[in-house]
Each structure stands twice: as C-alpha cells, then as structure tokens.
Amino acid sequence: MKFEYAPAPESRSIVSLRDWNGLFIGGEFVPGTGGSGVFKTVSPATEEVLAEVTSAGAEDVDRAVAAARAAYERTWSVMPGRERGKYLFRIARILQERSRELAVLETLDNGKPIRESRDVDVPLAAAHFFYHAGWSDKLSYAGYGPSPRPLGVAGQVIPWNFPLLMLAWKIAPALACGNTVVLKPAETTPLTALLFAEICQQADLPPGVVNIVTGAGDTGRLLVGHPGIDKVAFTGSTEVGKEIARTCARSRRRLTLELGGKAANVVFDDAPVDQAVEGIVNGIFFNQGHVCCAGSRLLVQESAAEDVLAALRRRMATLRLGDPLDKNTDVGAINSAKQLAKIRTLAESGDADGAQRWSPPCVLPDRGFWFPPTVFTGVSQAHRIAREEIFGPVLSVLTFRTPAEAVEKANNTPYGLSAGVWTEKGSRILWMAGRLRAGVVWANTFNRFDPSSPFGGYKESGYGREGGRHGLEAYLDVH
C-alpha cells in the first residue's frame, strides 16, 4: 500500500521579510557609501525576490575593518575570557530562542528543506557558540601555552550551502579567542547573517566585535586583500581559495582554507545493506548534495554491488522533492541558476563519457531551480563525474574488489576532505582510516558534525582545522 502525504508547510509568518538596505558596522545597521549598490536575493524554490541587500564597496569594507580594529583594541582583546564567554553563551541562547525564525529564513533564502535547517543547521550553529563560550576562559589549558594571544581582526568569507552554520563555524572560535571579525556572507544567501547581526545587538555585544558586509565576490576580494586584516578564513571553491592564498602570501596575514571535496563512501560486502544505503543517501542527497564533504563517489565492493544498488534505487524512490518549507520534504531546491547549470553540465558529461544515469520518477516544480536525485553507474576513474566536484544531488558509483584497491581509488583525487567506511569489521575500519587521505573519516555513519570535532582537509581541500581544540589554533598567535 502506498501512503500519500498531505502538505505540511511550515508557516513563514514568523519571518518579517524587509529590505536590508544596510551593512552591520560598529554595532549599527548603516547605509552603504561610495561605490556601494544593491542586489536582490531570491528564493531558489520559487524565484520570488525576498529582499534587496546592500552591496558593500571599498569604503564600506574600510569602515568595517576600522570598526573591528577599534573594538579589538578598546574592548574585546582586553576583556577577561570569562566576560567574553558570557556574550557567546548569550548569543547561543538567542539562537535557540529564535531558532524557528532562523530556520524558516534559511530555508527561504537557500532552498534547503526546513527539516534540515530546523534539525541540523540552526541547532549546530547554537552548539558552536555554546562550545566556544566554554573555551573563552580556558584558553590557557588548550595546549597553546599559558597565555595565548588573539591574532587581531579576522576577515571571513563564507559560501551559500550552510549560511548560518558556516557563520557560526567562523565567528564563534574567533570571538572566543579574543579576535574581532568582519564577515561576508555569500551573495545568494545573505539573510540569516543579517538576522544574526540583529541577534548581536540583542545580546548587547560590544559594537564592532562582529561586522557583516554583504555583497558578491568583489566585496570578498576587497575584504581578504584589506591591509587592516590580520587573519583570513575562507570556505568555498578551490579556485577562489587559490586566489586568496596568493593574496595572503604577499602579507603577514594568517590563512585557513576550507575548500571542495570529492569524498569516497566505501561500502564493503559485509556491511548491513539497509544501514549503508541510509548512509549513502544521507551522504549525497543531504542538502541537495551542496556539501563540501558529500559522499559523492560511492565505492562498493563488487560482490555486494548488485544488492546495494537495488536497495539504493528503492530508497531513492521514496525521497520527496519539492517545497522546502514542507516538513515532509527530503530534497529541496538547487541554490541558484548558476549552480543548476553547473550540475547539468557535469551530469551531461557523465552521459557523454558513457556512464548510465538513473533517477527515480519525480515531478520537478515549474518555477525555481531543481535537479532530481541522480545516480550514475558504470563510472570509471577517468570520467569527469568521478573527478570533479559536482556539488549537487548526483552520485557516481565505482566498484572495487580488495581493500587495497578501495584505498587506492578513494585516494585517487586531488581533494582530501572526508571519507566513509561501511563494514562490520572494526579492524578493517582502523586499517582503512589509517590509509585514507582525508581530514575526516566516518565509520558506519556519514555527515556527522560536532563542534568538539576538528574538521578540515588535505591537498586541494585546504588547510587548517575548524572545531575542537585544534580549531582554536587558527585564531591564536601561537607560531
């Protein structure tokens, strides 16, 4: 028997959509000056214009960096850690109190299912502030000397896939360590960062400790190249990451980069099939596959391939694609027309290279940006869909016979952010984990995040770690 779901939309009335014609500088929303303009942000599910937002120019970035510098020198870096911690706790509590508003706004602006923004993005963002609030007065015990100093003003640039969560990953450790920040959210998803600015006001955070400058790539370029910045933290594409590394190499500025990935999710023939299938689905269809650590390459042991793929197709047929505000939706909208075009191009290269494409029957809405959950079989290592990051709901399946072959194929990528291993054998998990060249290796699970666990990559996935004790190092003057 097949059950139909009634629509279960989350109300959007909790969110007040207004034009955010202002940048958050020195604790106030202020108009842009000089070369600034405005841009529109849309809901990717409907193409409805949600708000007009200020595009910050050079003068605006100057003002934001100056505000962050003044706050660093006068208040934040001289305030005892236990006092800083109180502000971080307060922000964490307000994130929880306003969680529904944040989740609805994130889903509207980004296109991700409300189930994910409500149950993953917002709670994890709050957890990052709680966790780092705890470190604020314990930095002398973090293993970086008796009295580690902050770096100064951090310039932070984040992507559109987890807008509020990436903001939390950047701002919470910076503030806990005594730095002040200027952050630029992505052009297509600026709204939760602006709501976060309001939360900073509500928490009475001293003016200038957090500054938000909205805009596109040019604003990001102005920020990371600004001479008043002591530290740059970037999450986004490898291409832009390389440009930023070149810019920072010309100065004494410290840099951490969290870039792309092409993770292998390795399934051995002794793995429980249904559990592994849940992990494969979560690995590549969570957040429409807009995940740097997505398990976008399934490596399945040849003897189990048929069973695993049959179970995967059955499971994919139950995924519900559609209105991201519906509480039953599993797969939401692709974030932008540009990203949709990129996914289509790469999927077409899979067809042209001779791989077999399969998607479950699914009706795509007429408006907005959509791509169905897709799996390619018959993929070889030379195919573009096995090498390049698609950043969409597209899985490439390869097979292997021996553990050694699995390791070799998994590591055959310029990236090294994450990997997954599915097997009943504990010894095999340890054997694999020691050989996989990836910053995070998940065993019998995937896409699990915790603020106490460091996250980051090898090779073209970047350098530096975010989260945990290791993540503090990126914001302390310890070299």
Smallest separation, CB 339 to ligand NAP (Å): 6
Q: Active-site residue 460, yes or no?
A: no
Of the listed 177, 200, 248, 292, which one is catalytic?
A: 292
In whole angstroms, the minimum distance from the beta carbon of 392 to Mg ion comes to 17
Number of residues that bind Mg ion (CB under 5 A): 3
Q: Which of 160, 376, 400, 446 binds ligand NAP (CB under 6 A)?
A: 160
3-state secondary structure of 339: helix
What's the half-sphere exposure (Cβ side, CA atoms, 13 Å) at 287? 24
Minimal distance, residue 43 CB to Mg ion, in Å: 6
Tokens 């090898």 -> residue: 458
> What x-and-dash track marks residues 238-277 binding ligand NAP by CB under 6 A?
--x--xx-------------xxx-----------------
* 445, interface contact from Mg ion, ligand NAP, none, CB < 5-8 Å by kind: none
Q: Which pair of structure tokens corresponds to residue 90?
A: 């307060």
Q: How far apart are CA 197 and CA 23, in angstroms?
A: 9
CB of 324 to ligand NAP, least distance (A): 18
Stretch that binds ligand NAP, among 85-93, 214-222, 297-305, 443-451 (CB under 6 A): 214-222
User: Would you state the structure tokens that stand for residue 129, as one six-digit string?
Assistant: 């502030």
Tell me which of 109, 323, 466, 473 binds Mg ion, using CB under 5 A. 109
Contacts to ligand NAP from residues 93-132, by CB under 6 A: none
Is 292 an active-site residue? yes
Q: Which of 200, 169, 188, 164 minimizes the C-alpha distance to 68?
A: 200
97-102: long-range contacts at Cβ-Cβ below 8 A with a sequence spacing of 24 or more? Answer: 98/195, 98/199, 99/123, 99/126, 100/10, 100/14, 101/14, 101/15, 101/195, 102/164, 102/192, 102/195
Shortest approach of ligand NAP to residue 75 CB, angstroms? 28
Would you put residue 15 in left (φ > 0), alpha (ψ -120 to 50) or beta? beta
β-strands 394-400, 418-422 pairing: unpaired
Q: Binding ligand NAP by CB under 6 A: which of 128, 184, 384, 459? A: 184
**Cα separation values, 289 from 120, 189, 195, 416, Å:** 15, 17, 25, 17
Give the dihedral of Cα atoms 156, 161, 165, 170; nearest 10 deg: -20
**Rounded to the nearest 10 degrees, what angle do helices 122-135 and 99-110 cross at?**
120
CA-CA distance, 102 to 191, in Å (whole number)? 9
**Of 105-113, 231-239, 309-317, 430-438: span binding ligand NAP (CB under 6 A):** 231-239
Asked if 237 is part of the footprint of ligand NAP (rule: CB under 6 A), the reply reads yes
Q: Which is nearer to Mg ion, 157 or 398 (CB)?
A: 157
Integer Rg of the chain from CA: 22
Question: Looking at 120-128, 234-242, 266-274, 448-456, which segment touches ligand NAP (CB under 6 A)?
Answer: 234-242
User: Angle at the Cα of 9 (from 5 to 12), degrees rounded to 5?
Assistant: 175
Determine the size of the site formed for ligand NAP (CB under 6 A): 27
Of 258 and 323, which CB lies nearer to ligand NAP in the complex structure? 258
Residue list 377-416, contact with ligand NAP (CB under 6 A): 389, 391
**Sole binder of Mg ion in the list 188, 219, 287, 288 (CB under 5 A):** 188
Question: Does 455 help bind ligand NAP (rule: CB under 6 A)?
Answer: no
Q: How large is the angle between the packed helices 163-176 and 191-202, nearest 10 degrees?
A: 40
CB of 46 to Mg ion, least distance (A): 11
Q: Which does 109 bind (CB under 5 to 8 A by kind): ligand NAP, Mg ion, none?
A: Mg ion
Q: Determine phi and psi for 313, rounding to 5 degrees.
A: -65, -40
Q: Which residues form the catalytic set?
A: 258, 292
**Could you list the residues that contact ligand NAP (CB under 6 A)?**
157-161, 184, 186-187, 216-217, 220-221, 224, 235-237, 240, 243-244, 258-260, 292, 339, 342, 389, 391
Summarize as ranges the residues that interact with Mg ion (CB under 5 A): 41, 109, 188
